[in-house]
Chain A
Amino acid sequence: MVFNLPTKIICIGNRLQAQDAAALKIYDILRTRKLPENCRLIEGGLAGLNLLSQLEDGGRIVFVDTVTGFTGPGRTVILSVEQVIATFENGGYDHAAGLPYLLAILPRVCTGSLPEEIIVLGIEYDANGDLLNDSIFLEKTADLTMKLARNGLKDNRKQ
């Protein structure tokens, strides 16, 4: 099986920080699954701006990252690039710039082909929950990630 577009799934976060580690749990789950040959799974970690080189080959990009303030704790939300960039407070670069800066600067510094589609799957942090050990939630989120990777946003607007 191949996807209709070459796709990269990029999971972002910090394994050493529980409140930022959920996307890397999704990475760990997806790593055990057989992915189509035109789908690459990438542990984005804290690479931030250094993910630029992963975004210059066209195709579809599905980011998975932790978010706060978009939906209820322990839920997922699909964000547009514009929504992510809108969280960018000062417009400048710093070591914490992360995904908002990366997506804002991408069209201006891309030296290859821009992605045809960029999707951000946000996992809302749950301060009171135990998201990282909720295997049902993590499996469901991994399934959703694969669905987004396969079809893009088509039919995935409603969760």
Chain B
Amino acid sequence: MTIIAKRINIPVNRSEGDLEISVEIENNVVVNAWSSGTMFRGFEEMMIGRGPLDGLVITPRICGICSLTHLYAAAEALDELAGITPPDNALRLRNLALMCECIQSDLRQAVLMFMADFANQKVYAELPLAAEALRRYKPLSGKSVFSVIKESKRLLEIIAIIGGQWPHTSFMVPGGVTFRPELPELLQCRMICSHFHNWYEEQVLGCSLARWREVESCTDLDNWLAENPAHAGSEVGFFIRFSRQAGLDKFGGGNDCFISYDSLRLPEKSSIQGQSGHLLQAGFVKKEKLHKFDSRLISEDLRRTWYNSQYPPLHPEDGETLPGIPVINDDDRYSWIKAPRYQDMAAETGPLAEALIADDQLIKDIVKNQGSSVMVRELARLLRPAVFLPPMATWIDELIADHDAPFYHKVKEIPDGSGSGMIQAARGALGHWVEIRNQRISRYQIITPTAWNGSPRDTAGRRGPWEEALIGTPIKDEQNPVAAGHVIRSFDPCLVCAVHTISRRKKAGQLNLGI
């Protein structure tokens, strides 16, 4: 007997950009998946022929949510080209801003976008925690929604103080930063950071960071949940309890390959320690084993994309972004997202990858005992501020203590040559590769975290990470495939930033998303 799978399209709202997901279902379970980025953007091509510094202004416009990460990557690429290491204070300010952007993104994504589905009464009304989920996450009235908006807004004031504005600040330049904060401004940053730290402990963790660090295994986690009502009632506690009731720990795992770049370069003189000169270390994890990362092993496979692909997969230093002519409904080529590969393997990036590569004991134990899942991926995101907040406070203290030291080393010109800026953005590994010839940009290639996570198949037919993660997802109701939405949203997809017009007409169709 031949079983004919049914192919349906999955609506995925609350996502950044134009994304279409279609899946094949057999016996109410996803057996195959295709992810398509439907908008060609072409920032790489826009850069060619421009002055070397233009990437600092143009590439942050790739995204209104993570603009600062693009600025950071663009500045690092030019640092490398200029052969300069910014002074310690510049590194502190750059890191501080990047961490603020990541934290606000993490918490808004988790509470306002991911957990908004927990308030979906059509799906979860029967769960014992449904009423509480509604009180917390109902759009425009949930208490957690209000709390996260207020606190994340406050945190972003740090970037406004040191960078002049957010989003789309331009305070990072090759050689350092353009602004030297005065003591009162640094003290204000310290106050905001401290306030946020207290709120994060009280509301998100329900305990001190010190207590949370003692949670190193699944058993520890269960004990922590039972230990104190404040733990069970915190955002993390509630998320875990609801996720277990909803079965989010049972699907959405992916292909067990994870990738991260070195990120948050450490000042030379700092009490904050890390590896290879960075707070976050690069690595590649395959089947729970950590491998040393080598950036030369990255390539971009275009075989299943709508780009011209006359070449074999190339390293981004040699790559191009030349659009072909898309043929709609062609399963062979189906996306404007390229397919980045590491050693020819698809790899997931983001907070879960960071935690596994950083040897986070709790996250590793969950993955070891229960496998990767929607729940652990989103949990890693909720917990990332616990990693960032202590060094943020320390770096502000060091800035206060050493604020007379330089914030900028002069860069007379950007010489011809090649440079790369590879960092960890909120959604994972972000790389800019730039080549300068005759004082003009001759090549600019960008691999975003969502290119890693949302990539289409490659030459060998290997699925991208979230295509793979969808396999095995239960679809109880084809008209309301919320589980598939959970899988995609747990990666925090971010495809583009484009049009925000106010429209009276209802949107037609079910696939094209928001921005």
Give me the interface of A with B, judged by CB distance under 8 Å. Answer: 12-17, 19-20, 45-50, 52-53, 65-70, 79, 84, 87, 89-96, 98-100, 104-105, 108-109, 111, 120, 122, 125
Contacts and interface: CB of A to CB of B under 8 A. Distances in A.
B504 A70 contact: yes
Interface in B142-162: 145-146, 149-150, 153, 156-157, 160
Contact of A14 (B113, B146, B500, B503): B500
30 contacts: A14-B500, A15-B61, A20-B500, A46-B64, A46-B167, A46-B168, A46-B497, A50-B153, A53-B160, A66-B501, A67-B501, A68-B505, A69-B504, A84-B502, A89-B507, A90-B13, A92-B13, A92-B14, A92-B113, A93-B113, A94-B14, A94-B15, A94-B16, A94-B515, A95-B14, A95-B15, A95-B494, A105-B140, A105-B145, A111-B150
B166 interface: yes
A122 B502 CA distance: 8
A110 to B, nearest CB: 9
B514 interface: yes
A153 B356 CA distance: 57
Contact of B166 (A50, A65, A96): A50
Contacts, number: 127
Contacts of B515: 94-96
Contacts of B14: 92-95
Contacts of A90: 13, 139
B387 to A, nearest CB: 24
A89 B167 CA distance: 25
Interface of B: 13-17, 61, 64-65, 108, 112-113, 116, 139-141, 145-146, 149-150, 153, 156-157, 160, 166-168, 494, 497-507, 513-515
A125 B17 CA distance: 21
Contact of A95 (B150, B497, B504): B497
Nearest to B515: A96
Nearest to A13: B500
A67 B503 contact: yes
B53 to A, nearest CB: 19
A94 B153 contact: no
- Of all A-B residue pairs in the complex, the 7 with the closest CB atoms, nearest first, are A96-B514, A69-B504, A46-B64, A96-B515, A94-B14, A92-B139, A93-B112
A84 B502 CA distance: 7
- Where chain B touches its partner, the secondary structure class is loop
B149 to A, nearest CB: 5
A46 B500 contact: yes
A17 B39 CA distance: 13
A16 B514 CA distance: 17
Contact of B146 (A12, A46, A108): A108
A94 B139 CA distance: 11
B113 to A, nearest CB: 6
B153 A95 contact: no
A50 B150 contact: no
Contact of B505 (A48, A69, A122): A69
Contacts of B498: 14, 16-17, 20
B499 A20 contact: yes
Contacts of B503: 67-69, 87
A68 B146 contact: no
A53 to B, nearest CB: 6
Contacts of B501: 19-20, 65-68, 125
A47 B167 contact: yes
A100 B502 contact: yes
Which among A84, A94, A105 has the greatest number of chain B C-beta atoms within 10 A? A94
Contacts of A125: 501
A146 B504 CA distance: 26
Nearest to A49: B149
Contacts of B157: 53
B63 to A, nearest CB: 9
Nearest to A100: B502
A57 to B, nearest CB: 14
Given A47-B167, A68-B501, A105-B149, A95 B140 contact: no
A31 to B, nearest CB: 15
Contacts of B153: 49-50, 52-53, 109
A85 to B, nearest CB: 10
A49 B505 CA distance: 22
Nearest to B165: A47
Nearest to A47: B167
B139 A93 contact: yes
A122 B139 CA distance: 26
B478 to A, nearest CB: 20
A15 B156 CA distance: 23
A86 to B, nearest CB: 8
A51 B473 CA distance: 38
Contacts of B513: 94, 96
Given A50-B166, A50-B167, A94-B14, A65 B502 contact: yes
A20 B167 CA distance: 18
Contacts of B108: 93
Given A49-B149, A93-B145, A95-B65, A67 B502 contact: yes
